[in-house]
């Protein structure tokens, strides 16, 4: 039985990936009602549990159970850490409550399915999408899965996530993907979140076209994913901007034609020298006012600024300059609607996102993994894999 909770959010902002999305009313089903009663017979697993700002613990938690007929329980084989998990740990995402198992990326094996799951069976090897979608609501019908009325970004946020032995996936038929036989499992983990984000919110929203000159501000996992997927559309120049020299060097090996370090060079001047009158597409993949400013300075008439970064404060929008230049600005939260296409591209070796993985850890070393990922520049880290 699905219990509906009418959750009045008159004064509350729901935070998604650090973005505070104000809305007033949300209907939640069993997806948020997942408390498992602990009895003597409760099965136990390990999970990375949020303990409040700045605190986390790798500890015993109840193994998830099927709560709705559309659920699946997946045994996690490999997971990773996202910048959003670091935001949560800083206390930036107040909708994550103490006791929540973190993580919204990973691959695994189906352990159990609910009676209404049709596309999967026990033992299937699956990729977990960071976005849960029912496939039936008005938003899902428009492929805006991030706004699914009974899903969206809930894993490791409103329900327990993937940094654990097992995870419960609601609406399994629409929120999991079969991993093709022989596929690189680590590459698949990059498909849960970062690759669709760079592709959909950076490259597709920015409408990258053959021959375009593009600039990507920020060479983290998201900027790198935009760099990899932009090359589907054959831009003529890809300029990566970051102050981390290691990341810039890696970006060159992934196809960047130019790199700029803003602590050493004037980005706008160098880009003006390199292009006739700026770039066709500027992808913002940091989330601070300075980098949005760079995008506004380097965009050419008719160009697109695709904002991917999660901003914690407002930016200085230069509308008085942009309107007359016919500039388009886009924003967005990943929908993962291009995941099936990306999966095929990775399978055919069109792109190799596993090259973003710099460090590997066992599950019981997850605290070390957080330490490395949290000090990415010092540790020369881009993406970490956790798995046995």
Ligand X SMILES: NC(=O)c1ccc[n+]([C@@H]2O[C@H](COP(=O)([O-])OP(=O)(O)OC[C@H]3O[C@@H](n4cnc5c(N)ncnc54)[C@H](O)[C@@H]3O)[C@@H](O)[C@H]2O)c1
For residue 134, the minimal CB distance to Zn ion (Å) is: 4
Least distance from ligand X to the Cβ atom of residue 332, Å: 6
Please state the closest distance from residue 260 (CB atom) to Zn ion, in A.
26
Cβ at position 213, least distance to Zn ion in Å: 29
Name residue 127's beta-bridge partners.
107, 177
The item of ligand X, Zn ion, none sharing an interface with residue 140, based on CB under 5 to 8 Å by kind, is: Zn ion
**Which of residues 217, 271, 329, 385 is near ligand X by CB under 6 A?**
217
- Smallest gap, in angstroms, from Cβ of residue 135 to Zn ion? 6
Judged by CB under 6 A, does residue 108 bind ligand X? Answer: no
CA 111 to chain CA centroid, nearest Å: 25
Where are the extended beta strands (E) located within 184-227? 213-217
247 binds ligand X (CB under 6 A): yes
- Which of 34, 150, 186, 244 is the binder for ligand X (CB under 6 A)? 244
Which of 47, 114, 218, 303 contacts ligand X by CB under 6 A?
A: 218
Say if residues 75 and 29 touch (Cβ distance below 8 Å). no
227 binds ligand X (CB under 6 A): no
- Which among 7, 57, 66 has a CA at the least distance from the CA of 36? 66
Which is it for strands 125-128 and 106-113: parallel, antiparallel or unpaired?
A: antiparallel
Which of Zn ion, ligand X, none does 197 bind, CB closer than 5 to 8 A by kind?
ligand X
- Site for Zn ion, rule CB under 5 A: 82, 84, 134, 137, 140, 148, 193
Q: Does 96 bind ligand X (CB under 6 A)?
A: no
State the binding partner of 272 from ligand X, Zn ion, none, CB within 5 to 8 A by kind.
Answer: none
Q: Which residues ranging from 311 to 350 are in contact with ligand X (CB under 6 A)?
A: 332-334
Tokens of 221: 């996992």
Of these partners, ligand X, Zn ion, none, which one is at the site of residue 309 (CB under 5 to 8 Å by kind)? ligand X
**Of the candidate residues 114, 206, 235, 287, the single one contacting ligand X (CB under 6 A):** 287
Binding-site member from 67, 88, 128, 222 for ligand X (CB under 6 A): 222
Binding to ligand X, residues 40-79 (CB under 6 A): none
**CB of 197 or CB of 345, closer to ligand X:** 197
* Cβ proximity of 81 and 99 under 8 Å: no
Q: 132 has which bridge partners?
A: 152
Question: Binders of ligand X among 157-216, rule CB under 6 A?
Answer: 197, 201
Positions that interact with ligand X (CB under 6 A) = 17-18, 83-84, 197, 201, 217-223, 241-244, 247, 262, 285-287, 290-291, 308-310, 332-334, 376
């Amino acid at each position: 039985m699905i219990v509906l909770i009418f959750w009045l959010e008159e004064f509350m902002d729901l935070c998604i990936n650090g973005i505070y999305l104000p809305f007033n009313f949300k209907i939640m089903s069993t997806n948020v009602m997942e408390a498992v009663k602990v009895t003597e017979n409760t099965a136990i697993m390990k999970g990375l549990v949020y303990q409040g700002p700045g605190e986390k613990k790798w500890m015993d938690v109840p193994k998830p159970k099927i709560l709705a007929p559309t659920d699946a329980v997946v045994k996690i084989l490999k997971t990773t850490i996202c910048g959003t998990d670091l935001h949560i740990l800083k206390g930036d995402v107040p909708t994550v409550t103490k006791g929540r198992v973190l993580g919204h990326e990973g691959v695994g094996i189906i352990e159990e399915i609910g009676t209404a799951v049709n596309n999967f069976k026990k033992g299937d090897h699956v990729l977990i999408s960071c976005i849960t979608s029912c496939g039936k609501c008005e938003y899902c019908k428009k492929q805006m899965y991030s706004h699914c009325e009974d899903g969206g970004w809930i894993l490791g946020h409103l329900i327990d996530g993937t940094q654990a032995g097992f995870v419960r996936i609601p609406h399994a038929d629409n929120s999991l993907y079969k991993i093709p036989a022989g596929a690189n499992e680590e590459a698949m983990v990059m498909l849960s979140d970062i690759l669709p984000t760079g592709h959909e919110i950076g490259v597709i929203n920015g409408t990258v076209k053959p021959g375009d000159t593009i600039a990507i501000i920020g060479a983290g996992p998201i900027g790198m994913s935009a760099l990899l997927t932009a090359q589907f559309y054959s831009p003529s120049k890809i300029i990566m901007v970051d102050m981390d020299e290691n990341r810039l060097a890696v970006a060159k090996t992934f196809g960047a034609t130019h790199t700029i370090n803003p602590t050493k060079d004037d980005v706008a001047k160098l880009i003006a020298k390199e292009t006739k009158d700026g770039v066709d597409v500027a992808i913002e993949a940091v989330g601070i006012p300075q980098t949005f400013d760079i995008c506004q300075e380097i965009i050419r008439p008719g160009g697109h600024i695709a904002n991917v970064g999660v901003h914690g404060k407002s930016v200085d929008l230069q509308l008085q300059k942009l309107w007359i230049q016919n500039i388009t600005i886009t924003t967005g939260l990943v929908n993962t609607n291009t995941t099936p296409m990306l999966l095929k591209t990775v399978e055919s070796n069109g792109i190799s996102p596993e090259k973003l993985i710099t460090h590997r850890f066992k599950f019981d070393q997850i605290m070390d993994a957080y330490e490395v990922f949290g000090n990415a520049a010092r540790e020369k880290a881009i993406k970490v894999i956790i798995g046995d």
